[in-house]
Amino acid sequence: MNFRRVGAVARKEFLHVLRDFRSLIMAIAIPILMLLLFGYALTLDVDNVPLAVWDQSGTQRSRELVSRFDGSRYFSLRMGVGNYGELVRAIDEGRVLVGLVIPRDFAQQIEAGRDAPVQLIVDGSDSNTATIAIGYAQVVAQIYSLDMLTEQANRRGGRAIQIPLDVRPRVWFNEELQSRNFIIPGLIAVIMMVISAMLTSLTIAREWERGTMEQLISTPVKGTELILGKLLPYFVIGLLDVTLAVVMGQFLFHVPLHGNVALLFGLAVIFLTGALAMGMVVSIVTKSQLLSSQVAMVATFLPSFLLSGFVFTIANMPQVIQLVTYIVPARYFVAILKGIYLKGVGLEILAGEAGLLVVYGAVMVLLANIKFKKKLV
C-alpha cells in the first residue's frame, strides 16, 4: 500500500467536502440538530399528569386527598368537574389524562373506620403513560390510607401501626431516574450510525454518476488505497461529531459521564470505522447516489432506532425479534455507551460487546475491499 496515493485520494475527498456546503451541513449540523431535537423532545419521564377531580363529598377529608394528588410532582390539578359528563368530555378533549371521583359518603366512611372507595378514570390511549399514572395514583392513595389508619389508632389510644414490610429502594447508576441520562448516550450511537453510513454511501456512487470513476480507474491507485483514502476525511468528521455529541451531553444535557473517556473514544473509533465502511459497501453496490442514500437510511436508522435497545428494551421484544437484534451493530455500541456513561464500567465488563464491534468493523472493511473492482463493468 502506497500511503502517498492514499493521502492524495484523502486530500481530494477533503477538498470536495469543504467545497460542498451541503455535505458540510450533513456532516456537522445535522448530528447537532438531531441531538437537540431528540434530546429535548424524546423523554420517557411521566410528570405533571393532568388531573380532573369530581369531589362529591366536599369535606376536609376529601380536600386533603385531593391535595395529596396536587401536591405530588406526578400530578397537576387542572380542573374540577360537577358530573360524569364534564369529566368524560375533558378526557375526550385531551385536557386531562386522569379523573378522580370522590363519592358523597367518603368522609363518613373514613370516620366510621370502613373502606372508602374512590374511582380513578384513566385515558388508556397511551398505555405506557396510563400504566405509570395508575401506579402513581395507587402510591398516593396507599400513603393517604396509611396516614388515616395511623390517625385512627392514635385517636383510640391503641398501639402504633407497624408496617410489616419496610422497603427502602436504592437506585444505582441513574439516581434521579431521568430518562435523558440513558437516552442521550443511546442517541449518540444512533446518530453516528446513520450519519456515517449516509456520508460514505454517496462517495463511490458520486464518482460513477459524475464520470470521474474512469479517471480514478486509469490511475495507479489500488482499490484498497482508494477506499482508505475516501474513508479518512469522513472518519475525521465522524470523530468531530462524536466529540461534539459528548460535549453537548455533558454540558448541555448534564448527563453524567462516570466511565473512562479514552475508552469511550477508542470504542467509538471501532464503531465509526464499521459504520463508514458499511456506507461504502452500499455505495459500491448501488452506484447511484439516490438509491444508496435511501438504502443507507433504511439499513441504519430503523434498526438502530428500534432494535438496538436505545428506546425499547430488547428483553420485552418477541423472541424472533430478539434474535434479529444480534445483527444490529448499534445494539452493542448502545450497551457500551450506557455502561461507560451510567455505570462507569470498563473492558472487563464490556469485552464481549467490544469484541463484536471489532468483528463488525473488520467484516465491513473487508467486504468493501472485496466488492470494489477497478473495472468499468
| 97, HSE (Cβ side, Cα atoms, 13 Å) | 21
In this structure, are residues 57 and 105 in contact, taking their beta carbons and an 8 Å threshold?
yes
Dihedral sign (CA 233, 239, 243, 249): positive
- Determine the pLDDT at residue 361: 92
Each residue's pLDDT tens digit, 101-149: 999 999 898 888 788 889 999 999 888 889 989 999 999 998 888 888 7
In this structure, are residues 126 and 81 in contact, taking their beta carbons and an 8 Å threshold?
no
- Determine the pLDDT at residue 157: 64
The size of the chain, in residues, is 377
- Determine the pLDDT at residue 162: 67
- Distance between CA atoms of residues 70 and 77, nearest Å: 5
- Determine the pLDDT at residue 169: 81
In this structure, are residues 331 and 245 in contact, taking their beta carbons and an 8 Å threshold?
no
pTM summary value: 0.81
- Distance between CA atoms of residues 11 and 166, nearest Å: 67
**Largest distance between two CA atoms of the chain:** 100
- Distance between CA atoms of residues 177 and 193, nearest Å: 27
Q: Show the DSSP H helices in the chain as ranges.
A: 3-19, 21-24, 30-41, 60-71, 84-92, 106-111, 127-155, 180-200, 203-210, 213-218, 223-251, 261-286, 289-306, 319-324, 329-338, 347-371
Task: Tell the residue number behind the cell numbers 446513520, with chain if given.
Answer: 194
- What residues does each domain of the chain span? 3-43+178-371, 49-155
Q: Pairing between strand 119-122 and 49-55?
A: unpaired
Under 8 Å CB-to-CB from 30, ≥6 apart: which residues? 195
- Distance between CA atoms of residues 371 and 226, nearest Å: 13
Cα-based torsion angle of the residue sequence 159, 160, 161, 166 in order, rounded to the nearest 10 degrees? -130
Q: Which CATH class is domain 49-155?
A: alpha beta
Bridge partners (DSSP) of residue 203 are none
Element (DSSP H or E) covering residue 100: strand 98-102
In this structure, are residues 13 and 203 in contact, taking their beta carbons and an 8 Å threshold?
yes
Bridge partners (DSSP) of residue 99 are 52, 121
- Distance between CA atoms of residues 75 and 72, nearest Å: 6
Cell readout for 377 is 463493468
- Distance between CA atoms of residues 20 and 5, nearest Å: 23
- Distance between CA atoms of residues 187 and 4, nearest Å: 37
- Distance between CA atoms of residues 262 and 254, nearest Å: 19
Question: Could you state, in chain order, the average pLDDT of each consecutive group of 10 residues for the chain (377 residues)?
Answer: 81 80 76 85 81 93 92 90 92 93 90 86 88 91 85 68 73 81 87 83 79 74 84 89 91 90 94 91 84 85 87 87 92 93 92 94 90 68
In this structure, are residues 52 and 81 in contact, taking their beta carbons and an 8 Å threshold?
yes
